[in-house]
Amino acid sequence: MNKFIIRELKLTECNSLIDLWVNSSLPIKPEGRDTKENIRKQLQIENNRFFVAEIDKKLVGAIIASHNGRKGWINRLAVLPEFRGKGIAASLIEKSEDFFFSNNVKIFACLIEDWNETSMIFFHNKDYVKHKDIIYYTKRLNPDI
C-alpha cells in the first residue's frame, strides 16, 4: 500500500467526500446536512475542519473536527473498508486532536450510535471514556437533516 497523507478537504471534493461516506457505509442525509451546499458552508466555518486521508489522489478516509472553544467534537469518521486497519483512522483522529490543541481546546468528544460496536472499541482504544450516564436529545425541524 502506498503511504497516505492527511490534509484538509478542498471545496471541489464534496462529491468525493459523499462517495467516501456511502462506500464506508456511513449513513448520510442527502437532503439535509450532507448536501454539497451544506458541506461547502460548513467548510467556511472557522471552527470546523474536514480532514481527509488520500492515497494516490483518492480519498480513502475522512473526519470532521469542530469545536465551540470549550469542547472539540469528532464527527463522521469514515475509512473505506479495504483501507481499514492501516492507521488511517488513528491519523485522522490525531490530526483532529492537534487542531483542537491549537485552539486551546482540551476536551474531545464523539457520539457513537449503539449499534456501532467497532467504533466504540476503536475510540476506547484511543483513550476515550464511555459515559453511560449521558442521554442524547436532538430536535430536528425535518427528519431528513
> In this structure, is residue 137 part of a structural domain?
no
> In this structure, is residue 135 part of a structural domain?
no
* pLDDT attached to residue 2: 76
> In this structure, is residue 62 part of a structural domain?
yes
| Cell numbers given for 8 | 484538509
First to last CA, the chain: 37
Q: Does the pLDDT at position 41 exceed 90? A: yes
* pLDDT attached to residue 48: 97
> In this structure, is residue 110 part of a structural domain?
yes
> In this structure, is residue 99 part of a structural domain?
yes
How far apart, in whole angstroms, are the C-alpha atoms of residue 110 and residue 116?
A: 13
DSSP β-bridge partners for residue 62: 52, 78
| Cell numbers given for 94 | 490525531
**CATH number of the domain that residue 105 is part of:** 3.40.630.30
* pLDDT attached to residue 13: 96
Q: Residues 82-131: pLDDT tens digits?
A: 999 999 999 999 999 999 999 999 999 999 988 889 999 999 999 999 99
> In this structure, is residue 143 part of a structural domain?
no
Q: How many domains does the chain have?
A: 1
Q: Residues 56-81: pLDDT tens digits?
A: 999 999 999 999 999 999 999 999 99
* pLDDT attached to residue 20: 97
Mean pLDDT over residues 19-23, rounded? 96
* pLDDT attached to residue 125: 95
> In this structure, is residue 19 part of a structural domain?
yes
> In this structure, is residue 18 part of a structural domain?
yes
Can you give the residue range of the structural domain that contains 102? 5-125
Q: Does the pLDDT at position 143 exceed 90? A: no
Identify the band that residue 1 occupies on the pLDDT scale cut at 50, 70 and 90.
low
**140 exposed, middle or buried (CB, 10 Å; 0-12, 13-18, 19+)?**
exposed
